[in-house]
Each structure stands twice: as structure tokens, then as C-alpha cells.
Amino acid sequence: MARWLAWWRHPEFQLGLREMAAVSPGLAAWGLMTGVAMVKSGMSPLEAVAMSLMVFAGSSQLAAIPLIAAGAPVWVIWATAFCVNLRFVVFSAHMRPYLMHLPLRWRLFNGYLTADLSYVMFTKRFHHPATDAVGQRNQLAYLGGGSFFNWSSWQIASMLGIGLAHSIPTNWGLGFAGILALLGVGCSLASTHFAGSRPGLLRWQRSRHLRCPSSSISSWPLRRQSPCA
Amino acid sequence: MNPSAMNMTDGWTLGVILGLALVTLVTRCFFFLSSQPWQLPHWAQRGLQYAPIAALSAVVLPEVVMTQGQLITTWLDARVFATVAGAAYFFARKGQGQAVLGTIVTGMAVYLPLHIGLGW
């Protein structure tokens, strides 16, 4: 208990919470409409609650819902979800060096909870995996804060959607707020160091150049072919 | 699920859901399931820094410019205007403060009247 409390109080955990809170209206609207979609497809409330709590992946849930309703072959449903989730496989390659210092069960715990937005915000904040215990703890705390907020707001909104399925009109398109949340996060990625504009890119390379003598360079093979290597 | 069993819990659906949960777990943890030392080749590692923005674009773009798997053929689509308005807000604020929140609010403020009011 004390250990969880220490994580909760960690400044990076709190920062992760706050940064995720900024996109919560989008997340909530998306979770809400996923909840509504599950019930309207004919799932029982119990099935819908189980799906939300266990599957915890909006896009693969939305892909699977009509297939389940149509009684498609099980392997087709699972294969569809796998294809929709392929981006997570790429994310896991990116996250690997950040998490390999953990035992398997905690890697699974963190990996399972790292959805799109937690991943994007985490890799935006930390460009290199930490090499010391303090840095690793900071990174894990930030990831945990973001994932925790993401998970809770998604689940609360999804449960509301399940409960209120028959009084929320789907044709209003409230779920579009989720896309706008991703758009906002995408814009903030584009305007930081993944800049499409030359000045942004040059600024990024210059700042990397200045950082080169630091030990962090050798810690991440990605950077070995940087302009100063 | 047949129509007469609407909104009834059945074992088949729960089994499918359990499998889907495993799919989530395996895909999200794919490359750190194994503890074996292992390195991605350089070019792949370099490519990974573009993974977040590529993934976001791949999710967002179809949701804005496609309907039922078809590219939209009209500009009178609430999603297009909402996306432009949201992005405009973000860059007007230069991404400072609660710019992402503002992107969502501005976008929905444009989207809802056009979509519900005008049916775009």
C-alpha cells in the first residue's frame, strides 16, 4: 500500500495525470460512445462491462462489436482485433528499452495499460530510456500517471455509456471528440521535434548536437548516427 | 448471437471477449515478452521516432476524410471543418497551455452545430 502511495505522490506521476487530463474530454466522449455501441449491438450489460474492463482497446472493440453481433467465426474476430492492434506491436518495440529493467510481470502490467495516448505522451516526454535507477523511476512514474488517468477516464466513460446506452443518441457523433483529442496530441508532436518544417528540424538537430557529449548518447543506439557521431 | 438472444449473456461472447483481452495484452507487450538481449537494427530504431505521429495520422485521417470505407466526395462534412478549426486553434495558441483541450472544445463547437443542425 505504502509503495503504491509513493508512486501516486511522485511528481512525475502527478505530471502524467495532469497532461492526460488535458485530453480527457476526448477520451471520455470516445469511451462513452464505445459503451453505447457495445450495448446497441445487442451485448448484455455484463458482456459490455467485461469487454470494457478486459479488452481495454477502443479501436479493436469497435472493430469486434459488429463481428460479434453477426456471430462471425471466432478466429476472424481475433485476427481482426490483432490487425487493428498492429500499431501496438510497433509501440512495444519502441517501449522495450524503457521497460526491460523490470521483471516480466511488471512489463506486462505496464504494457497492457499503455494505450495510444499514454505511449505518445510518454515518448514525447522521454526521448531516451533512463540509464540510472532514479531516471527509470521518474519515467515509470510518468507513464503510470498517464496510463492511470487514461484507464480510469476510459472505464468511467465506458460504464456510463453502457448504463445510458438507450438515452444517448449515436447520431450526434460525440465520439468525434476522441479523434479531436488525437488530432491535438498529433499537432503537439508535429510542433515539437518531429517538425515537418525545416527550421524546427534544424533546431532539433542543433540541440541534439549540444547534448552529444552527455552520457545519454551511448545509452541509446538510435542516436549513434547523429550528426556529431 | 441470434436476434432472439438480444442482450442476453452467453458463454461464446464471453470467450471471444477473453480472447480479445489476450490480443490486447500480446500486441501491447509483443517486443518485451522475451527477456533475451535483443536490438533492433539502426534503421528500424531511427524509424521508430516517427511511429507516434505515423500511428496518430493513420487513426485520425480515415476518421476525418472517409465514410464507410470510401473517401468523402463533398467538402460539406462537419468533420473536415471541425478538424481544421481544432488544428487552427492549436497553432494559434502555439501549443501552449491547454492547447489540446482547446483543440477538442473548438473542434466540437464547430462539429456539433454543423453535424446535428445542418446534417453535414
A13 at the B interface (CB within 8 A)? Answer: no
Distance CA A217, CA A226 (A): 9
For residue A184, which residues of chain B lie inside 8 Å, CB to CB? 86, 90, 99-104
Distance CA A206, CA B71 (A): 40
Residues A105, A182, A48: CA angle, nearest 5 degrees? 60
**A window 124-143, beta carbon within 8 A of B:** 124, 127
Rg, Å, chain B Cα set = 21
Distance CA A19, CA A184 (A): 12
For residue A57, which residues of chain B lie inside 8 Å, CB to CB? 20, 24
A-interface mutation test, from B2, B9, B20, most A Cβ less than 10 A away: B20
Distance CA B23, CA A81 (A): 7
Higher pLDDT, A136 or A193: A136
Distance from CA of A202 to the nearest CA of B (A): 16
Contact criterion met (CB < 8 Å) for A187 and B99 = yes
Q: Which of A27, A189, A180 is nearest to B89 (CA)?
A: A180
The ipTM, to two decimals, is 0.84
Contact criterion met (CB < 8 Å) for B6 and A42 = yes
pLDDT score, position B20: 97
pLDDT score, position A200: 38
Q: How far is CA A202 from the centre of its chain?
A: 28
Searching chain B, which residue's CA lies closest to the CA of residue A85?
B27
Distance from CA of A29 to the nearest CA of B (A): 10
Contact between B40 and A93 under an 8 Å Cβ cutoff? The reply is yes
**Set of cell numbers at residue A41:** 449491438
A-interface mutation test, from B43, B50, B100, most A Cβ less than 10 A away: B100
Contact criterion met (CB < 8 Å) for B29 and A92 = yes
A176 at the B interface (CB within 8 A)? Answer: yes
Contact criterion met (CB < 8 Å) for A111 and B28 = yes
Size of interface A-B (CB pairs under 8 A): 244
Q: Is residue A90 helix, strand or coil?
A: helix
Task: Give the pLDDT band of residue A15 (cuts 50, 70, 90).
Answer: very high
Higher pLDDT, A218 or A67: A67
Q: Which residues in A101-212 belong to E strands, given as ranges? A: none
Contacts of B35 (CB under 8 A, 6+ apart): A100, A104
Q: Which of B35, B32, B34 is nearest to A114 (CA)?
A: B32
pLDDT score, position B37: 81
Residue A53, number of CB atoms within 10 A of its CB: 14
Mean of the per-residue pLDDT values of chain A = 84
Return phi, psi of residue A44, to 5°: -75, 155
Partner residues linked to B71 by β-bridges: B66
Q: What is the DSSP string of B5-74?
A: GTT---HHHHHHHHHHHHHHHHHHHGGGS--S-----HHHHHHHTTHHHHHHHHHHHHHHHEETTEE---
Identify which of B60, B94, B107 has the shortest CB distance to residue A186.
B60
Q: End-to-end CA distance of chain A: give it in Å, rounded.
A: 46
Q: Which of A138, A147, A149, A146 is nearest to A6 (CA)?
A: A138
pLDDT digits (tens, 9 = 90+) for A119-159: 999 999 999 999 999 999 999 999 999 999 999 999 999 99
Residue B118 has pLDDT above 90, yes or no: no
Residue A7 has pLDDT above 90, yes or no: yes
Contact between A221 and B39 under an 8 Å Cβ cutoff? The reply is yes
Partner residues linked to B70 by β-bridges: B67
Q: What is the DSSP string of A176-216?
A: HHHHHHHHHHHHHHHHTTT-SSHHHHHHHHHHHHHHTTSTH
Partner residues linked to B66 by β-bridges: B71
Contact criterion met (CB < 8 Å) for B100 and A188 = yes
**A window 32-91, beta carbon within 8 A of B:** 39, 42-47, 50-51, 54-57, 59-61, 64, 68-69, 71, 74, 77-78, 81-82, 85-91
Contact criterion met (CB < 8 Å) for B55 and A100 = no
Calculate mean pLDDT across residues A49-67.
94
For residue B23, which residues of chain A lie inside 8 Å, CB to CB? 55, 60, 78, 81-82, 85
Distance CA B21, CA B36 (A): 25
Distance CA B25, CA A82 (A): 10
| pTM, full prediction | 0.81
Distance CA A58, CA A81 (A): 10
